[in-house]
Amino acid sequence: MPQHRSKHFQKLLLEYSHETDPAKRHHIEETLWQEYGSEQAIFVLDMSGFSLLTRKYGIVHYLSMVRRMQLTAEPIVESFGGSVIKFDADNCLAVFPQPLPAVRAAVALQLAFEASNLITSDDLDIHIACAIDYGKILIVENNDCFGDPVNRACKLGEDIGIANDILVAKEAMELIPKDTDIQSKTLDVSISGIKIAAYRVEYR
């Protein structure tokens, strides 16, 4: 069944690409959103220092760290009600029903890696940046997702975030209740030439 849904998704995309009638194109787009659309918080984890560590110690060394990251990240994400969509290289992409549990999972992950780094040598220490956004996305087979919130979260986590960061886009932060214990500072960042309001969570 999941494989069927993936093929159907690809078929609809191809039909959209080949269709010249605007009304029919609109209908195909609506069908895609009806069948695969979801409104969720997007969570991106990016490991820091890939190029430096790989160059210094080799790809096997770094891949061993990636595997440890995966084994740590998935149960923590799930414990806060999230679902891992995929691990891609040294990244983790997950979804949560709302931004608040995504932020709490990000804090838990940062603290978990801080604790594990106390018992590993410096060359095996894992440092991460996390980013969170919220909005309407397309989810296919629960192993891939697409949409503007996904793009923004990836850009925040991979291009803007540095080690130990938790960055939250304004759209997501506005959905976090004011009476929570989440503390943050505003940021103005530019992603692909577009200015985006975001927040850096202060969790220590």
| Domains of the chain in sequence order | 38-202 (3.30.70.1230)
**Is the pLDDT confidence value at 1 over 50?**
no
Q: What gap in Å lies between CA 199 and CA 204, rounded to an integer? A: 15
The predicted model scores a pTM of: 0.92
Q: Is the distance from CB of 158 to CB of 51 less than 8 angstroms?
A: no
- Contacts of residue 172, defined as CB under 8 A and 6 or more positions apart, other chains included, come to 41, 99, 102, 132, 133, 134
**Is the pLDDT confidence value at 189 over 60?**
yes
Q: Which residue has the tokens 């609109």?
A: 26
Which of these, 47, 184, 158, lies nearest to 103 by C-alpha position?
Answer: 184
pLDDT for 202 equals 95
- Which one-letter DSSP state was computed for residue 172? H
Q: Which residue has the tokens 């410096």?
A: 122
**Is the pLDDT confidence value at 204 over 90?**
no
* Kind and range of the H or E run holding 149: helix 148-155
Q: Is the distance from CB of 175 to CB of 140 less than 8 angstroms?
A: no
